[in-house]
Chain A
Amino acid sequence: MSALFKARKVIDFCLHGSRSLSQLAELPETHQLLRQTCRDFADRELAPIAAKLDKEHFYPAKQVKELGAMGVMAIEVPEELGGAGMDYLAYSLAMEEISRGCASTGVVVSVNNSLYIGPILKFGTEEQKKQWISPFTAGDKVGCFALSEPGNGSDAGAASTTAHQDGEEWVLNGTKAWITNCWDASATVVFATTDKKLKHKGISAFLIPMPHPGLSLGKKEDKLGIKASSTANIILEDCRIPLNNMLGPRGAGFKIAMQTLDSGRIGIASQALGIAQASLDCAADYAHKRTAFGAPIGKLQAIQFKLADMAVAIESARLLTWKASLLRDAKKAFTKEAAMAKLAASEAATFCSHQAIQILGGMGYVTDMPAERHYRDARITEIYEGTSEIQRLVIAGQILKEYQS
C-alpha cells in the first residue's frame, strides 16, 4: 500500500469516526448543496405564493409535484423504490428550508415522508413497499396517517376504531380526527384495535387506499394556520380491505405508531425551525429598515436583545434536531433527542414568531407582512405529533431510566 493510500485511509477513518461531531459544526458538501437547492426552491417557488396559499386554503399541488421530481417527497426511500436514498439529516435540512418558504407545504412533505412512508418502509413487506411507497414518491400522490380520534389524541392507546376479520377481509369501523393531508391523499395508514381486551397491545396498523368504499372524509377544518394543508376526520363505516393490507404484525400497531412518531418529531422540529427562521429573517430585515427616534430600530438594545434571544433559541433547537437526525442515521437510540428537538423547536417557533410581531409593531399585525402568518403557522407545532406536554413526559421517562440504579 502506498503511503498516500494509507494516509487517505486514516483520514477517512478519522472523518467517519468523528462524523457526528464535525457534522454539527459544518455540514458535508452534499448536504450543503441540498440545503442550498431547497432554499432556492423555497425562495423562488414557495415564498412568493405562501400568503396566497394561506388566504385561499389552496393545496400547492404543482409545487408538491415539483418537490417530488426533486426527490424531496421520499428522501429516505431507496432509489430502487423511487426515492432519493438520502439520510435523515438531509430530510431535516430539506424540511427546514421548505417550511421557511411555506409552512403548509412543509407539513405536506413531512406527513408524506415520516408518517405515511416511514412506517411502511420500516414495517412493510417488500410487496407492500412496492405497492404503497413507489407511487407516492413523485409528488403526484401523497399519503396520510390516521391515529388520533375525537375521543383520544395524546391517549393513543385508547383507540376505539375497531377492525374485525370477516372471511378474507378486515372490516374497519370508527372515526379518526385531525388527519393532515386527507382531502389530498391517495392512501392512509390507519390504526384500529383488533383486540380490545389487550388494550394498547391490541392495536394494529392497516393500509387503506383513498378513495375507498366505506371510507369518507369529514368537512375540512378551518384552522388558525397551515391553512393550505387539509385537515379533517376520516370516517370508516364497514370499510373492507384485503387481509394483506395489515401493516406489520397483529397487535404491533401501538409500537409502530410510537416509533413512527419518534421520526416524525424530527420532521416537525425541522418545520418549526423553518417557521422560526422565517420570523427572524423578517424581524431582522425590518430592524434595519424601520427608523424610530432618529435611527434604525436595530440600534435599540430592546430590539437587539429580542433578536439575540430568537437566534439562540433557533440555533439550539437546530443543533438538537441535527443531533437527533445523526443518531437516527447511525441507528442509535434517538427517542429522547427527537422529543427534545421537537419541544425546543416548536417553543422556539412560537417564541420567535411572537417576538417578530412585536418587533414589527403594527406592521406585524397585518397581512402585508408575513409575520402574522408565521405566528399562526407556528402554534400547531406545539400540538401535533405529540403535544409539548407529551414530549416532556417522553424526555422525563428517558431521563429517569438513565438514572435508575
Chain B
Amino acid sequence: MSGRVLVGVKRVIDYAVKIRVKADNTGVVTDGVKHSMNPFCEIAVEEAVKLKEKKLVKEVVAVSCGPQQSQETIRTALAMGADRGIHVEVSGKDYETLGPLQVSKIMAALAKKEDAQLIILGKQAIDDDCNQTGQMTAALLDWPQGTFASEVTLDGDKIKVVREIDGGLETIKINTPAVLTADLRLNTPRYATLPNIMKAKKKKIANVKPADLGVNLTSRLEVLKVEDPPQRQAGMKVETVEDLVGKLKEAGKV
C-alpha cells in the first residue's frame, strides 16, 4: 500500500505544567502557559514517518485544528519528518468549544479532499482525555479502525494491528483505508534533528477554514463548570479485616 497518511497533531498544555483552574471556573489557565504537541500525537507522527522511511507510504501530512499557534505544532511534526502541513484555522469562541465531533468531521472531510489512505491519530489528548476523535472519524468515513495500537504492520492492502485492551493484547486485521490511534507503547518518538529543523522551514503549511470543508463547528456540549478535584482526605489504619468491613459498612460502602 502506498499513498497519503494524514496525521492529526493537537497543541495542548505541556504535560509537565501544573494545571491551574481559572478563577471564574470556566476553564483552565492557558495564557502564558507552556504548550507542546500532545504526547500521543508525537507517537502518531513517529509511526507515520517510520512507515514513510520503510517506503510503505508516500506522503505524511500533518494536520492541526486551532489558532495561529497550532502552526508551531505542525512545524514540530515537519521537523520530525512529515512532508507538509494543513492548518485548519479555528479560533476564539469556536476554539473554546472545539471537540472530537468537530475535529473528526474536519478530518473526514480532509481525508476525502486529500485522498488519504490512512489516518493516524493519538489515542487521546492529555487535556480532555476524550479518546473519541479516532473512533468518530472512522465512523464518519465508514472506515475500519485500529485503536489503542501498540503494533502496526502493513500487509498489502490490509493492516495488522495489535491493540492494548483491558485483558491484554488483541490482534486484528483490517482493510485500508483505515483509521489508527496510537497508544503509548507503539514507538518512541524521535527528537527532531537540527538538519530536519532547518528543512522544516521550507516545507509548506496550507491554511484552510472549516467552512471551506463544509464543516459546521457548532458544539452540542456546554461546559457548566470546571473545578479542582477535591482535596485528598487522610485515610485511617485498621487492625483487622473485621474492623475494615465494619468501617466500610458504617460509611455505607457495603
Contacts and interface: CB of A to CB of B under 8 A. Distances in A.
A84 B198 CA distance: 9
Q: Which of B16, B72, B194, B198 has the most CB of A within 10 A?
A: B194
Pairs A-B, 8 closest by C-beta atoms:
A71-B194, A84-B194, A70-B193, A37-B192, A71-B193, A33-B197, A30-B201, A34-B197
Interface in A64-121: 66, 69-72, 75, 79, 84-86, 90, 94
B193 A33 contact: no
Contacts of B197: 30, 33-34, 37
A27 to B, nearest CB: 12
Contacts of A32: 72
A75 B194 contact: yes
B201 A37 contact: no
B198 A70 contact: no
Contacts of A94: 194
B75 interface: yes
Interface in B1-53: 16, 36
Q: Which of A32, A33, A84, A90 has the most CB of B within 10 A?
A: A33
B100 to A, nearest CB: 27
Interface string A22-42: 000000011011101100110
B192 A43 contact: no
Interface string B197-220: 110110000000000000000000
B168 interface: no
Interface in B59-103: 72, 75-76, 79
A75 B193 CA distance: 11
Given A29-B75, A30-B201, A33-B75, A84 B191 contact: no
A86 B75 CA distance: 18
B201 A70 contact: no
B204 to A, nearest CB: 14
Nearest to A94: B194
Contacts of B194: 34, 70-72, 75, 84-86, 90, 94
Given A33-B75, A33-B79, A40 B191 contact: yes
A246 to B, nearest CB: 31
A79 B201 contact: no
22 contacts: A30-B197, A32-B72, A33-B72, A33-B75, A33-B76, A33-B79, A33-B192, A33-B197, A34-B194, A34-B197, A36-B36, A37-B79, A37-B192, A37-B197, A69-B193, A70-B191, A70-B194, A75-B194, A84-B194, A84-B195, A85-B194, A86-B194
A86 B199 CA distance: 11
Contacts of B195: 71, 79, 84-85
B80 to A, nearest CB: 10
Given A33-B75, A33-B76, A41 B198 contact: no
Interface in A39-59: 40-41, 43
A41 B191 contact: yes
